[in-house]
Amino acid sequence: MKALLHYRASPMFQERLMQSRPDWLDVVVVDEDDQPALQKELKDTDVLLHVLAPADSTLMSFAPQLKLIQKIGIGVNTIDLVEAEARRIKVANMPGTNTQAVAELTLGLMLSTLRNIPVLDRATRSGGGWTLPASVTDRQGEICGKTVGLVGYGAVSQRLAPVLRALGAVVKYFSVDAHNDPGATDSLDALLAQSDIVSLHLPLTPKTEHMVDASFLGRMRAGSLLINTARGGLVDEPALLEALQSGHLRGAGLDVLEQEPIKASNPLLTLDSVVVTPHLAWFTAETVQRSLDVAFENCKRLKEGEPLLFSV
């Protein structure tokens, strides 16, 4: 059996991949930009270890014996599920493997945006850290006492909520699903009106695409922050830019963007009030190991004809 990891894997990722694979499984790694190698290697691939590059009908057409697309992560919006079903290719993801990592970076973006850490870092490195303008020093804030509104209340939100409360924040959330945790709000409008920080924790679907539009942003409390470690397509970026430039929003912390990799010309990059990271909230050594454990367990189950973990 052969598995193909379609990703620009770091040395750590590749080392753990090769150390963790079972002896009976051949594993190859193909960079996301190496289309000739991808087409060549897909010809006899049984399992695609899918990260971010779209697994579309074209890719599947190059893989006549593909039996499983194993998502490394949770979101399957980059997989053509209709095409996979038509070709009788199984699809599985791995909820929970990156929960801790995403929760931690979400908190990190909140703190970085509140304290303007990237601006402080750049100023200090250039010798201006002790002569900062008031526009920077007077924007420093604490998370203690702030109301944090979580839009969506899945695994990441539920891991993050007690940490935020331990730091002194008031945590509210809005979810279409019922939960026993305290802090539920009756409506999204109520959450937006009450929150100093709004953090997105939703999948990208036709219903949620661009849900954070001018209307959504206008209903957020003046001077609040937007945090997104979910999916870039949730946010209408021109509307976000306008809300930031007008001063209605104080700042934004974004691990995900509509276009990835982000273009250097993206106007969001010109704003000191925006903290950006390159869709790496999920990526830690610990997450990689947990993900490989699930992926190789599913390879074993596929080989032995057993039900897969976390079938989609």
**Residue 137: left (phi > 0), alpha (psi -120 to 50), or beta?**
alpha
pLDDT at 210: 98
Active site includes 50? no
Tell me the residue type at 230.
Answer: A
Strand partners, 227: 199, 253
Task: Flag whether pLDDT at 279 surpasses 90.
Answer: yes
> CA gyration radius for the chain?
21
CB 234 within 8 A of CB 228: yes
pLDDT category of residue 180 using cuts at 50, 70 and 90: confident
Closest CA to 26 of 50, 49, 60: 49
Cβ neighbours of residue 278 under 8 Å, at least 6 residues apart? 255, 260, 261, 262
pLDDT tens column, 3-30:
999 999 999 999 999 999 999 999 999 9
Q: Are 255 and 280 in contact (CB under 8 A)?
A: yes
Average pLDDT over residues 219-229: 99
CA distances from 208 to 86, 138, 212, 216, 233 (A): 26, 35, 8, 12, 8
Report residue 295: phi and psi, to 5°.
-60, -45
* pLDDT of residue 293 exceeding 90: yes
State the chain's mean pLDDT as an integer: 97
Residue 175, pLDDT score = 95
Residue 6 annotated as catalytic: no
Q: How many residues does the chain have?
A: 312
Burial of 50 (0-12, 13-18, 19+ CB in 10 A): buried
Same fold, 2-93+284-304 and 99-276: yes
pLDDT 10s digits, 226-277: 999 999 999 999 999 999 999 999 999 999 999 999 999 999 999 999 999 9
What's the CA gap between 257 and 268, in Å, rounded?
A: 10
Three-class DSSP category at 90 = strand
> Among 60, 59, 89, 95, which Cα is nearest to 75's?
95
Among the listed residues 85, 260, 286, 306, the single catalytic one is: 260
List the domain boundaries for the chain.
2-93+284-304, 99-276
The catalytically annotated residue of 6, 201, 279, 290 is 279
Q: pTM score > 0.85 for this model?
A: yes
pLDDT, tens only, 79-92:
999 999 999 999 99
**Among 36, 106, 66, residue whose Cα is nearest residue 281:** 106
Q: Which of 6, 231, 250, 290 is catalytic?
A: 231
CATH topology of domain 99-276: Rossmann fold (3.40.50)
CATH code that applies to domain 2-93+284-304: 3.40.50.720
Q: Is the pLDDT of residue 178 over 90?
A: no
